């Protein structure tokens, strides 16, 4: 196969196009060396890439003169074909900005392209809020929206008569110009979040309209107040350097990908947008996501901050430079002000991921999503170990089917091969013995009561058996999910997925502790006979009065002797024996 690839594909930069049996484009990729890139698809580790490769019937290629040319062509072809395995944003959109132009009489308008034409405010992720803010500013400050030189008109337009424009076309004078520019200054303050005064005025007007029973106008004013408040709330200073930056944070768990972009303008966080990334057949998902985000024509700031290393960082910077016609830097900060911005983005992307999981009411579907399982975990086995310093060590296995305990499947194990306190080895013994039982069907998911160490021990047993059963751990107190690869996940306490895992974990713990106590009591009962003066009859009396022998520690000798009807000296021996357990 490698020699065949060498014969077909050249050692040049270029773009390759993967097609299925119906000639549909599955994936478009770029390569520094086409031959090497195609060779990398032989036996891929990524399950999504394996799935894609299994559907490929043909691969076309186009040679380019450079990597940057390949990147430009790749983006054009992705736009044209929209392949299912390229990173796609659920909402391929550009974001609108409010623009106040540099004209003698500045214009207030909306644009999706940023050029050197004036002062920009945004981006706005809600067009409804944008329209409300525009209307408030036009109504309040009467800034024109027409293009060109307004003095060329002899008559005022409809906006003047509607009270939305002060009509510089018929009022051109030094005094009027000074007043108009003062209104522009006030409008800029509002767009920068200083809107308390205007909000108070709108509230008064809203209450007046409500008092006049004009609830329709009152509702419009209410929406305007909400839009202005949101504009003000979103804007808070996060950088003393007045930077313009987009901050990208991606969260990956198995086959789930979520992302957040923070918009920083003049050192102020003015907006945030979250994304679900669909069908990534890429190795560098973050790099592909950043490319897809700017492919649509979104404004490219001078600084792009990311929460992972990007594989082809220099190439991506070069492409962004060519699109924006100026220098763009991509940074992955480990400390300082930019790292704090990343922390905000990462906190938000994790919160949104949790919200997505919480919104799924069916716990099995939720678990499948959050763990990236290939099928619903209809059968879950939970395991726990119980012992006291290695003594009377036992293991438990509980089974949940379709989210409910299946008690016929429960198993308990007395540890046989491990001496001393070694929970990892005990867990491995339990798993070996369970998996050697060929009569039991294999589960869809194994849950261990414990952390990374226990999960690693379980993974070793599964690997030695040649089994690929998903295994996770759920640590107590922190309620953190651990994966064999070493990564962890903290789900919202409201998550149905977490609640189901807690039920399985707690049931395994209960079942193990119960069995441990039963064995321990049997051992203690037989040991009572070793105490001087205690025979079978006195043992029965003691156990009838104190089924839990450990409670004897807190009982006075006189009370013990009286309740068990045994001599005081025998009661003293019994109490000493219990205290030494």
**Strongest mean pLDDT among 198-207, 468-477, 561-570:** 468-477
Residue 556 banded pLDDT, cuts 50, 70, 90? confident
- 53 CA to centre of own chain: 27
Domains 245-359 and 366-518 share a fold: yes
Q: What is the model's pLDDT at position 338? A: 87
> Was domain 531-580 assigned CATH 1.10.287?
no
Among residues 1, 86, 74, the alpha carbon closest in space to that of 31 is found at 74
Portion of the chain with pLDDT greater than 70, in percent? 90
Q: What is the mean pLDDT of residues 380-385?
A: 94
**So what's the pLDDT on residue 305?**
95
- Give Cα separations from 494 to 254, 363, 497, 499 (angstroms): 21, 11, 9, 8
Please enumerate in sequence order all residues whose Cβ is within 8 A of that of 481, keeping only pairs 6 or more positions apart, or say none: 371, 472, 473, 474, 488, 489, 490, 491, 498, 501
Inform me whether the pLDDT recorded for 16 exceeds 90.
Answer: yes
Sign of CA dihedral 551, 555, 561, 565: negative
Tell the CATH superfamily of the 245-359 domain.
Ribonuclease H-like superfamily/Ribonuclease H (3.30.420.10)
Q: Quick one: DSSP state of residue 443?
A: P
Residues paired with 414 in a beta bridge: 394
Query: Using alpha carbons only, how large is the chain's radius of gyration in Å?
Result: 35
Between 56-65, 144-153, 508-517, the lowest mean confidence (pLDDT) is in 144-153
What integer pLDDT is reported at residue 90 of this predicted model? 58
Neighbours of 554 (CB within 10 A): 7
Q: At 433, is the secondary structure helix, strand, or coil?
A: helix
pLDDT-based confidence at 509, cuts 50/70/90?
A: very high
User: Given pLDDT bands bounded at 50, 70 and 90, which one contains residue 19?
Assistant: very high
With a cut of 90, say whether residue 388 has pLDDT above it.
Answer: no
Angle at 200 between CA 196 and CA 203, to 5 degrees: 140
What is the value of pTM for the model shown? 0.53
How many residues appear in the chain? 581
CATH number of 366-518: 3.30.420.340
Q: Domain coordinates of the chain in residue numbers? A: 14-86, 97-234, 245-359, 366-518, 531-580
> In this predicted structure, what is the pLDDT of residue 476?
82
% the chain with pLDDT above 90: 20
* pLDDT single digits (tens) 214-267: 777 788 778 777 777 666 555 545 555 778 899 999 987 666 688 899 888 878
Please tell me the distance from the alpha carbon of residue 552 to that of residue 457, in angstroms, as a whole number: 39
Structure tokens at 265: 């303008």
Question: Does the pLDDT of residue 495 top 90, yes or no?
Answer: no
How high is the pLDDT of residue 381?
A: 96
Residue 575: partners with Cβ closer than 8 Å, 6 or more residues away? 552, 553, 555, 557, 560
Mean pLDDT is lowest, of 58-67, 69-78, 383-392, for 383-392
DSSP 8-state secondary structure symbol assigned to residue 90: S
Write the DSSP string, 357-414.
HHT--SHHHHHHHHHT-SS---EEEEEEEEEETTEEEEEEEEEEETTEE-GGG-EEEE
Q: Which CATH number fits domain 14-86: 3.40.718.10, 3.40.1440.10, 3.30.9.10, 3.40.50.300?
A: 3.40.1440.10
* CA 316 from centre of chain: 25
pLDDT above 50: residue 139: yes
Cα separation, 199 vs 230, in Å, equals 12
159-184: pLDDT as tens digits: 888 888 888 888 888 888 898 898 88
pLDDT at 144 over 60: yes
Q: Alpha-carbon distance 449 to 474, whole Å?
A: 6
Report the alpha-carbon distance of residue 243 to residue 265 in Å, rounded: 6
What integer best gives the mean pLDDT of the chain?
A: 83
Residue 463: the pLDDT is 92
CA distance 104 to 173: 12
The most confident of 199-203, 404-408, 563-567, by mean pLDDT:
404-408
Whether the pLDDT of residue 302 is over 80: the answer is yes
Q: What is the pLDDT of residue 236?
A: 47
Residue 1 has pLDDT above 70, yes or no: no
Task: For residues 16 and 543, give the distance between their C-alpha atoms in angstroms, rounded to a whole number.
Answer: 79
**pLDDT tens digit sequence for 435-464:** 988 778 899 999 999 999 999 999 999 999
Is the pLDDT at 38 greater than 90? The verdict is no
- pLDDT of res. 455: 94
- Whole-number pLDDT of residue 3: 55
């Amino acid at each position: 196969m490698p020699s065949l690839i060498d014969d077909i594909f050249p050692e040049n930069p270029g773009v390759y196009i993967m097609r299925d049996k119906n000639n549909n484009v599955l994936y478009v990729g770029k390569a520094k060396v086409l031959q090497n890139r195609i060779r990398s698809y032989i036996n891929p580790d990524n399950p999504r890439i394996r799935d894609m490769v299994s559907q490929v019937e043909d691969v076309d290629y186009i040679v380019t003169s450079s990597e940057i040319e390949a990147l430009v062509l790749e983006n054009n072809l992705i736009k044209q074909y929209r392949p299912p395995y390229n990173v796609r944003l659920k909402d391929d959109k550009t974001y609108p900005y409010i623009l106040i132009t540099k004209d003698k009489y500045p214009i207030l308008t909306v644009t999706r392209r940023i050029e050197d034409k004036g002062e920009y405010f945004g981006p706005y992720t809600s067009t409804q809020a944008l329209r409300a803010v525009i209307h408030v500013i036009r109504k309040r400050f009467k800034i024109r929206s027409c293009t060109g030189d307004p003095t060329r008109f002899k008559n005022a337009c409809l906006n003047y008569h509607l009270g939305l424009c002060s009509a510089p076309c018929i009022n051109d004078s030094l005094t009027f110009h000074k007043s108009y520019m003062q209104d522009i200054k006030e409008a800029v303050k509002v767009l920068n979040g200083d809107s308390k005064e205007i909000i108070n005025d709108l509230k008064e007007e809203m209450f007046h309209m409500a008092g006049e029973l004009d609830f329709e106008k009152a509702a419009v004013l209410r929406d305007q107040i909400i839009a202005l408040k949101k504009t003000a709330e979103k804007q808070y200073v996060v950088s003393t350097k007045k930077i313009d930056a987009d901050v990208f944070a991606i969260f990956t768990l198995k086959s789930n990908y979520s992302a957040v972009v923070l918009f920083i303008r003049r050192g102020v966080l003015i907006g945030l947008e979250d994304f679900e990334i669909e069908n990534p057949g890429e190795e560098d998902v973050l790099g592909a996501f950043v490319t897809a985000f700017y492919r649509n024509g979104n404004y490219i700031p001078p600084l792009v901050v990311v929460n992972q290393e990007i594989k082809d960082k220099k190439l991506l910077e070069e492409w962004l430079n060519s699109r924006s016609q100026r220098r763009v830097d991509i940074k992955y900060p480990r400390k300082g002000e930019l790292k704090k911005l990343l922390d905000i983005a990462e906190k938000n992307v994790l919160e949104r991921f949790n919200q997505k999981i919480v919104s799924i009411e069916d716990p099995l579907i939720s678990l499948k999503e959050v763990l990236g399982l290939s099928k619903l975990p209809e059968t879950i086995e939970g395991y726990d170990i119980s012992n006291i310093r290695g003594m009377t060590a036992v293991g438990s296995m509980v089974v949940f089917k379709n989210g409910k305990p299946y008690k016929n499947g429960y198993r308990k194990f007395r540890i046989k091969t491990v001496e001393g306190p070694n929970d990892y080895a005990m867990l491995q013994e339990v798993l070996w013995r369970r998996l050697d039982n060929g009569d039991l069907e294999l589960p869809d998911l194994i849950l261990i009561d414990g952390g990374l160490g226990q999960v690693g021990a379980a993974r070793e047993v599964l690997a030695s058996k040649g089994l690929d059963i998903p295994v996770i751990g759920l640590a107590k107190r922190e309620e953190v999910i651990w994966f064999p690869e070493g990564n962890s996940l903290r789900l919202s306490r409201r998550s149905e997925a977490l609640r189901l895992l807690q039920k399985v974990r707690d049931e395994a713990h209960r079942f193990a502790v119960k069995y441990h106590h039963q064995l321990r009591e049997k051992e203690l009962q037989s040991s009572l006979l070793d105490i001087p003066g205690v025979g079978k009859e006195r043992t029965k009396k003691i156990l009838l009065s104190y089924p839990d022998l450990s409670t004897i520690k807190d009982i006075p000798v006189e009370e013990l002797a009286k309740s068990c009807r045994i001599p005081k000296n025998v009661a003293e021996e019994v109490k000493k024996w219990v205290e030494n357990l």
